[in-house]
C-alpha cells in the first residue's frame, strides 16, 4: 500500500471493518478505485485493479453483457427502420442540436485532428517519468499514477494536500452562495420534510423571499446505491389554473463519508463534480414553463450539459476559490499560489481527456450508425476507437459491456454531447470572463436561458443569451491556448 495517503488507507480499513475483514479493502467504486490507481506505487496492484475494472460484465460469466449489447442494438435498429430512418443515430439526432450523424462525425473529427498532437505530447511527458522507474512500455493502468506525478511536478498540486481545504459543507455553501450572487437564490435546510435516507438533506430554495423549489442532497455511498453522480427531478415545474407548481430536485454523489475524526473532504475533481450536478439542479430549480414536459432539463440532449459544465468553470477562478477554500482545522485560506496553480492546471492532460471522450463518442456513434450485426464486441470497439487510443489495448478488458451511459443511461447516439456542450460552456463563460464573472446583466440573460427549458430551439436560446452562435474556437482556445 506504499504511496497511498493515510486518509485513503483509513477509508480502506473502514471498508474492511464493515465487511468484518482484517487489513484493507479496495472496491471498484470510484472514490475507492481512483485513489489506488493514482497513488499506489505497487504497479501489480494497479494492474490487478485495472483488469478487474475492465472485466466488469466482460468475463463470459453470468453477468456478461456482450449478448445484451447485440440485442439492444438490433432492437434499436429495428425501431429506427420501422420509423423510416436508416439507423438509430439518425432517428435520435433529428431531435438534437446536431441534427445528423454526419454533423456529429464532422464535429468529432475536427476536435480529434486538433487535440491529437497535444495528447501525444502529454503522453510522451509521462513516458519519460515512467522510464526513470524502469518502465519501457507504459500501460493504461500507469496513466493516473504518472499523471499525478507530473501534475505535482508542474503545479505542486496533490489531491491529498488540497482535500483539507475542501470540506463538503464549505463547498456546498459556496455553490449555494454563487447561485445567490448570480440568480438571487437562498437555501435553508428543512428538517420537517420526509426523506428517503438519513444521509439526505432537504433545502427550501427561495428567490427574493418567494418559494422556488425543494433541493434534496444525497452525497455518500451506501449499499445498493449506484456509483457516480447525477441530478434527478422528482417533480418538474409547471403552471396550471393560474398556479406555478414549483419543482423538487435532487443531486446525488458518492463522496467519501466523514469518519469519527475527519469530516467529508473532497478532491478537487469532486468539487467540480458537485458544481456540475448543481448546475443541472439550477436548470431544474429555475424552470418557468407552462408544461412539465418542457421544464428544466427537458431540453435537447446535446444542450443539457451546458448549465452543468458552465458551473464547473467557477471552480478554477481564484476570485471565487478564496471565498470558500479554507482548511477544515485552521480556517486558513488556500494559499494564493495554490489557487493560481489550480487555475493553471485546468487544462492539464486536456489533450488526453479530449481523446478519451472522443473515443467514447465515436464508439457510441459507430454502434448506432452500423446496420450490420456486431460479431465481436471487443473487435468492434478496438477498431472504432483506435484513432483515439494512446495506450496498448488489453484483450482481457473492454469498455462497452459496462458502458452504461449509452446502453442504459440515455446517452445512446448522444455521448458526443459532452464535448458539444463544452463548446457551449467555454463560449458562455468566456462572455462572463470578458465582463466579470459575477456580471449581473449577463447572469440575468443566462438565467432566462435556464428558465426557458425546452420551450425554444436551444440555438435560438443561445443566440438570445450570447448575441451570436457558439464558436468551437472558444473551446480550443481554453483547452490549448
Domain with residue 160: its CATH number is 1.10.1370.10
Read off the pLDDT of residues 180-207 as tens digits, 9 standing for 90 and up: 999 999 999 999 999 999 999 999 999 9
Q: Is residue 83 part of a domain?
A: yes
Strands 238-240 and 230-235: unpaired
Is residue 368 within 8 Å of 87, Cβ to Cβ?
A: yes
Q: How confident is the model at residue 227 (pLDDT cuts 50, 70, 90)?
A: confident
Residue 431 has a CB neighbour count (10 Å cut-off) of: 17
Q: Considering 90, 122, 277, 422, which one is annotated as catalytic?
A: 277
Q: Quick one: average pLDDT of 221-244? A: 95
In a shared domain, residues 159 and 18: no
| Confidence (pLDDT) at 159 | 82
In a shared domain, residues 126 and 180: yes
Is residue 364 within 8 Å of 413, Cβ to Cβ?
A: yes
In a shared domain, residues 30 and 167: no
In a shared domain, residues 50 and 93: no
Q: How confident is the model at residue 7 (pLDDT cuts 50, 70, 90)?
A: confident
Q: Is residue 308 part of a domain?
A: yes
Query: How many angstroms separate the CA atoms of 136 and 16, rounded?
Result: 35
Which residues is 471 bridged to in the sheet?
A: none
Of 320, 237, 227, 229, the closest CA to residue 278 belongs to 229
In a shared domain, residues 69 and 43: no
In a shared domain, residues 400 and 437: yes
Q: Quick one: average pLDDT of 40-59? A: 96
In a shared domain, residues 347 and 467: yes
In a shared domain, residues 64 and 17: no
Beta strands in 147-305 (DSSP E): 185-190, 201-207, 210-218, 230-235, 238-240, 243-245, 248-252
3-state helix, strand, coil in the chain (%, to 5): 55, 10, 35
Q: Does 204 participate in catalysis according to the annotation?
A: no
In a shared domain, residues 319 and 435: yes
| Confidence (pLDDT) at 409 | 80
Q: How confident is the model at residue 389 (pLDDT cuts 50, 70, 90)?
A: very high
Q: Is residue 444 part of a domain?
A: yes
In a shared domain, residues 466 and 337: yes
Domain that holds residue 28: 6-54
DSSP symbol at 207 = E
Structurally, the chain folds into a number of domains equal to 2
| Confidence (pLDDT) at 345 | 86
Q: How confident is the model at residue 281 (pLDDT cuts 50, 70, 90)?
A: very high
Query: How many angstroms separate the CA atoms of 285 and 32, rounded?
Result: 32
Of 177, 148, 124, the closest CA to residue 35 belongs to 148
Per cent of the chain over pLDDT 70 is: 100
In a shared domain, residues 44 and 168: no
Amino acid at each position: 500500500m506504499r504511496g497511498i495517503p493515510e486518509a485513503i488507507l483509513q477509508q480502506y480499513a473502514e471498508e474492511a471493518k464493515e465487511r468484518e475483514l482484517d487489513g484493507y479493502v479496495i472496491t471498484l467504486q470510484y472514490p475507492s478505485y481512483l485513489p489506488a490507481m493514482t497513488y499506489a506505487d505497487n504497479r501489480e496492484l494497479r494492474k490487478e485493479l485495472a483488469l478487474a475494472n475492465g472485466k466488469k460484465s466482460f468475463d463470459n460469466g453470468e453477468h456478461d453483457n456482450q449478448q445484451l449489447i447485440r440485442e439492444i442494438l438490433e432492437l434499436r435498429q429495428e425501431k429506427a427502420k420501422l420509423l423510416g430512418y436508416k439507423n438509430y443515430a439518425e432517428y435520435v439526432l433529428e431531435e438534437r442540436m446536431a441534427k445528423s450523424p454526419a454533423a456529429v462525425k464532422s464535429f468529432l473529427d475536427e476536435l480529434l485532428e486538433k487535440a491529437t498532437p497535444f495528447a501525444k505530447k502529454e503522453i510522451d511527458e509521462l513516458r519519460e517519468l515512467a522510464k526513470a522507474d524502469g518502465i519501457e512500455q507504459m500501460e493504461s493502468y500507469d496513466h493516473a499514477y504518472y499523471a499525478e506525478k507530473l501534475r505535482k511536478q508542474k503545479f505542486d498540486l496533490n489531491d491529498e494536500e488540497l482535500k483539507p481545504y475542501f470540506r463538503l459543507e464549505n463547498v456546498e455553501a459556496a455553490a449555494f452562495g454563487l447561485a445567490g450572487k448570480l440568480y438571487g437564490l437562498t437555501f435553508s435546510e428543512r428538517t420537517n420534510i420526509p426523506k428517503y435516507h438519513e444521509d439526505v438533506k432537504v433545502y427550501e430554495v427561495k428567490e427574493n423571499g418567494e418559494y422556488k423549489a425543494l433541493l434534496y442532497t444525497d452525497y455518500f455511498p451506501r449499499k445498493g446505491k449506484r456509483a457516480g453522480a447525477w441530478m434527478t427531478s422528482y417533480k418538474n415545474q409547471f403552471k396550471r389554473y393560474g398556479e406555478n407548481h414549483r419543482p423538487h430536485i435532487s443531486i446525488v454523489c458518492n463522496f467519501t463519508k466523514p469518519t469519527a475524526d475527519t469530516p467529508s473532504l473532497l478532491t478537487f475533481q469532486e468539487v467540480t463534480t458537485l458544481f456540475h450536478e448543481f448546475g443541472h439542479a439550477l436548470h431544474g430549480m429555475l424552470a418557468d414553463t407552462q408544461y412539465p414536459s418542457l421544464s428544466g432539463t427537458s431540453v435537447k440532449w446535446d444542450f443539457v450539459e451546458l448549465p452543468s459544465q458552465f458551473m464547473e468553470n467557477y471552480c478554477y477562478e481564484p476570485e471565487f476559490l478564496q471565498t470558500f477554500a479554507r482548511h477544515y482545522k485552521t480556517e486558513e485560506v488556500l494559499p494564493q499560489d495554490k489557487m493560481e496553480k489550480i487555475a493553471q492546471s485546468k487544462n492539464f492532460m486536456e489533450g488526453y481527456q479530449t481523446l478519451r471522450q472522443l473515443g467514447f463518442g465515436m464508439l457510441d456513434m459507430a454502434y448506432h450508425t452500423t446496420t450490420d450485426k456486431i460479431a465481436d464486441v471487443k473487435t468492434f470497439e478496438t477498431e472504432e476507437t483506435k484513432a483515439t487510443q494512446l495506450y496498448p489495448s488489453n484483450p482481457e478488458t473492454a469498455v462497452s459491456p459496462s458502458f452504461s451511459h449509452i446502453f442504459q443511461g440515455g446517452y445512446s447516439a448522444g455521448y458526443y454531447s459532452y464535448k458539444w456542450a463544452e463548446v457551449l460552456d467555454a463560449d458562455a463563460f468566456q462572455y462572463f470572463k470578458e465582463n466579470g464573472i459575477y456580471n449581473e446583466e449577463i447572469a440575468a440573460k443566462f438565467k432566462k436561458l435556464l428558465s426557458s427549458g425546452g420551450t425554444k430551439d436551444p440555438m435560438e436560446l443561445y443566440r438570445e443569451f450570447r448575441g451570436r452562435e457558439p464558436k468551437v474556437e472558444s473551446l480550443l482556445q481554453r483547452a490549448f491556448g
